[in-house]
Chains A and B, each alone.
Chain A
């Protein structure tokens, strides 16, 4: 394992070095992003505060949209798990909605909510709510039937059953669902900010990282800043993943 790690580090270092050398040797600085250029872009955008502020705006949108999605999706999914007839009625509908890419709603979201960022929140909510609801449904179905029978035999009402059996029993599945749907939500906010930016042009709009990419693309055409934004998008995805895993270890230590 240690040897593998060294090979991995060496490969990355070699690629970065070769990449830099190739660009320096050919004088391609303005056309292709270079490692040094990306570092310089990060330094410049952190110093003037635009990168942290763009990341914060995008992330707040994800948090807001995700919170709404959780407030809708988790109760609906749990209710579906507890009442089969509801599940039979709603599940095909949710499945069908899932094959509409969230970003397809952007013209309507812009129309209803405006370009300042609420449209992006809507897209985030849409992207996260369907996987959350379907996983909550799945989570309840996977609960050990004997536990449900036992709580029934011991005279628990539906509320006690929900609180003592169903919610704790769903947590491991839900953690995975949170991880996956938060990832979708992050992709969706970037897509929404990009689409809004393309639509209304630079200078206004959502102020998130997607908007920053559009400004870079259409105004400054600075490939290093563009690559910096992409790197940040990737790092936030990794952070979301790690955060959800950490939450899982804390909330359901018996499972993870």
Chain B
């Protein structure tokens, strides 16, 4: 049922042209690049910033925050989920804590993080870890609980050791959930990163937004926003490709956590 190529490409292309055209029209009409820079100026600013290396530094700083924070957060989420799946008592004990902390959301921790760590890279790293830990924890735990009992029983009947049951039954069955959770976590982490850099950091793309605003360089602000969007799409596409490569056999919607 896939539409032919022109049918898939032309409508979005047409719509993009309409959006860019009206943006350009309004910007020209206002003729005030400090209020609304035209798409052309934004493009020039983007090339300029990429060319002189400023943007590259910001991107690297943000990706550093993201990589470290996401690694810590997702790691904690995964390990806790595995422990909770193994020891039921731990899950009962930890569940109220999770339900208490989860609704508070990473954003609400920003002032506290600034107070604890001071303005700097630790604030975004802490918030990204906090935000990323919960979705992957919840999804992984659900995946491990959802392992088909019949498969476990079959494995046991065929004489699999406990370790084999984990590596050959539980792990593959939970993997789609883990990867779905990883994607959710990345989305949360991305938003937390921008918010934390904006408010409590001295480097990264989010920090640059206010920096350029100080100088009324709205063209550069927009260029940073474009980069945030493009990197967000790219990161999500990466995890989707990973999912497709590792657990392509599992239908996409059945593992929505």
Contact = CB atoms under 8 A, between A and B. Distances in A.
A90 B13 CA distance: 10
Nearest to B131: A187
A234 B103 contact: yes
A250 to B, nearest CB: 23
B185 to A, nearest CB: 14
- Identify which of A8, A99, A223, A227 gathers the most chain B CB atoms within 10 Å of its CB: A99
Contacts of A186: 105
A4 B93 CA distance: 9
B107 A89 contact: no
Interface in A171-195: 186-187, 190-191, 194-195
A198 B229 contact: no
Given A194-B110, A217-B111, A106 B233 contact: no
Contacts of A163: none
B156 interface: no
Contacts of A97: 229
Contact of B198 (A96, A99, A103, A229): A103
- Identify which of B89, B111, B212 gathers the most chain A CB atoms within 10 Å of its CB: B111
Nearest to B200: A198
A195 B100 CA distance: 25
Given A12-B96, A194-B111, A233 B105 contact: yes
Contacts of B209: 104, 106-107
A33 B12 CA distance: 52
Given A106-B198, A195-B198, A226-B112, A15 B16 contact: no
B218 to A, nearest CB: 7
B92 A226 contact: no
Given A12-B100, A217-B111, A88 B225 contact: no
A102 B204 CA distance: 17
Contacts of B7: 88
A108 B213 CA distance: 8
Q: Give the interface residue-count category, chain A.
A: 35 or more
B12 A88 contact: yes
A56 interface: no
B14 A7 contact: no
27 contacts: A7-B89, A8-B96, A88-B8, A88-B12, A93-B12, A96-B229, A99-B229, A99-B231, A99-B235, A99-B236, A101-B193, A101-B194, A101-B228, A106-B198, A110-B213, A191-B107, A191-B110, A194-B110, A195-B210, A223-B115, A226-B111, A227-B112, A230-B104, A233-B103, A233-B108, A234-B101, A234-B104
Interface of B: 3, 7-8, 11-12, 14-16, 19, 34-35, 89, 92-93, 95-97, 100-101, 103-105, 107-112, 114-115, 190-191, 193-195, 198-200, 206, 209-210, 212-213, 218, 221-222, 224-225, 228-229, 231-233, 235-236
